Structure 1
């Protein structure tokens, strides 16, 4: 567990906390994490000293960029324990990664085939499969949740048939922070010869990820949720599966040879990476990985769990509060409502006290409709948050409630 002094040193690495004169609190880490100075400085240094395109020339700037790009790929491979760098595809974010797979596997989805998602998915892990199912006359099936917000495994087992071609499930739900039993889902899916895509956006900087051990076919995430730059996404895919996919986009960087009669595409990973990637972001990604590696995912998870448990304990004292699924296996996210108070109104008042929380449906309308609510207040933690911030949040929350009740 981190000591007070260690957390203080960690916070000092984030310029945004030094620049805030009002000592505000950032509890919106599930949306995006703040960036340490080493990530920011690396991006600035790249643009000031080494800016160049990649794989286009033989000059030293191009070589520098290319070397660091591939270093990022290798470090990401190691971070999630992929078998090879060929299994690491660069995208613009988790959303593009999911859309890439939805487009590329379209030719394998036939009429009356099944695609399974859950009731708790983010819109970006619903809409692509909804569109694909409609286009190919396939069936989109939904795993319901039980009274604790957890996936109903009994129903899932019934949904699985020989016509199931893909399961797309979040590792951790972005609405309530529930850790889904993805090992069990993957094992069952593979017994039916179905592919499995795991959306790891809310898990990647909080849980140790070993894609070989999980045995998932695809694992996707965004770097901006793990202390890195925006505009960078990672798609992991098993090589034997990626080899069967035709490119998602066409252009420079993903071809071996072009003539007016035909085009020969490059091998993995480049055939799925058309155009110039976010080079500065990918170079900054190395520093984000280093930052996490310096503190260990296990220690980070233990510390965030301490924050979460403390927040649940102190907030439970409020009359009329509904904390969603606090008895489930939650990770770093706490969603709640207070009786007769709209989440937006409370969020606006908290903002007046310099407290940043997320309000609304969190890009997850179906689960909100299922619960018959118009949204929640969501707080989410990262390594730089503190017990003291939770205490201040609680005191200011009480002040807001007096104004609203």
Structure 2
């Protein structure tokens, strides 16, 4: 009973994405790990662009992450993304390779290598084949176009089963602002800032500092609310690019116009985050973990992620087994201080499974089974402690998850 990987539906078919003035995307096949599709993406931005980014908090962050962090203050004009090799755990040579790729973009475009943000995704610990990347760069440049979002989404995939994209348009004073987003990720997903890789582009005119604030909030409320397997990648990165080419007025803090824009960015990123969970490696179910009546947002997220990370919970959902005790146990070990067990209620969809410190008196295995047989399930936990509400998305653990990751390097 797969959610989507074995049978695409309307939510996983790549949408029509309009061109965004000023942002050009070009792809090429460098043959880094495979030669069946493009695996290199070059993004070109105008001098008017503002660029914001957030990166993994994994201490073993990849070489391209380190270089991108250093280059971000230099008004980036290009992004270079490769799939098939993470260039992580590669020491000094990895840093030199990331810098070499930036220099190659600079030579090709006549630009400053410090204005290039490099990104990589794939196998950790393998040397980056820089010669292949350098050889493919000219083709990626030739292919630059403002409407190549679909090609870009496909080029950054690794174990993804479908390309992920979302587009939204808003109007301010009669002028349109377009927001396009693409992302990749299916495993090693428990971000501490963003997701494996995500790129959101807009033609809005907005300053870099405000754009950074917008991205940080949106990432926290979207990509930081998902988990496939509880692992934080070494390469996580999310970039928000604003070309400044829209005829709409400049967005400034504290205005209704900015809030509408920020809401639209958040909407795009939430949809991208959900697509990642729908494409979780080997996933057959999507679970929404909704934690209510928490003291604060942090507590709600803590409980939600404890449930979402639990292999016992996730395997029970794969088996469609209403083993409610596993959910109860996860709530109990989530680290909530002075939790009053009798105040806690747990639901599978609208079926109450736990109340007054134990199994709900109205609960039946038949009712629980009916919910567990579904492909999408909501687990609601009411802590009885406050008014905070947060949602975490996750998926189940299947046999295929083990197979995919056991064979990842073969």
Please state which band the TM-score falls in when normalised by the shorter chain: under 0.3
* Bigger helix share: 1
* Bigger strand share: 2
